[in-house]
Amino acid sequence: DTGVSQNPRHKITKRGQNVTFRCDPISEHNRLYWYRQTLGQGPEFLTYFQNEAQLEKSRLLSDRFSAERPKGSFSTLEIQRTEQGDSAMYLCASSAGDRADEKLFFGSGTQLSVL
């Protein structure tokens, strides 16, 4: 069990560019989540996958954001036409089992800075 892995750890981009982040969950965890955290705030839910199916998306998630989890393994989060307001820590988490109230295991996040 190597934990949840996220890459890259840091990303600096210019406004208007596209960025993609990767998350490798704990092996055999069927539930995968993306959260966003800004300084001084708690994590904010973005989207949830059960295996390869994206079952829930935040209403706050604009159409510039897209996430995938092909084959129910790793996941990617893409942000198109980045804006300065997208600057944040993007956290991935995974959990096992059938219950939504299982504890989450978080990765160390990808820190995005949009200049």
Partner 1 sequence: EDQVTQSPEALRLQEGESSSLNCSYTVSGLRGLFWYRQDPGKGPEFLFTLYSAGEEKEKERLKATLTKKESFLHITAPKPEDSATYLCAVQAWGNKLVFGAGTILRVKS
> Closest approach of Cβ 105 to partner 1, in Å?
7
The stretch among 12-20, 62-70, 74-82, 106-114 that binds partner 1 (CB under 8 A) is 106-114
Among 1, 63, 98, 101, binds partner 1 (CB under 8 A): 101
Structure tokens given for 3: 């934990």
Q: Between 47 and 82, name the residue whose CB sits nearer to partner 1.
A: 47
Rounded CA gap, 80 and 76, in Å?
13
Q: Between 17 and 27, name the residue whose CB sits nearer to partner 1.
A: 27
Footprint (CB under 8 A) of partner 1, residues 37-96: 40-45, 48, 55-56, 58, 91, 93
Among 11, 24, 25, 31, binds partner 1 (CB under 8 A): 31
Burial (CB count <10 Å: 0-12, 13-18, 19+), residue 44 = middle
Which residues contribute to the site for partner 1 (CB under 8 A)? Answer: 4, 31, 33, 40-45, 48, 55-56, 58, 91, 93, 100-101, 103-109
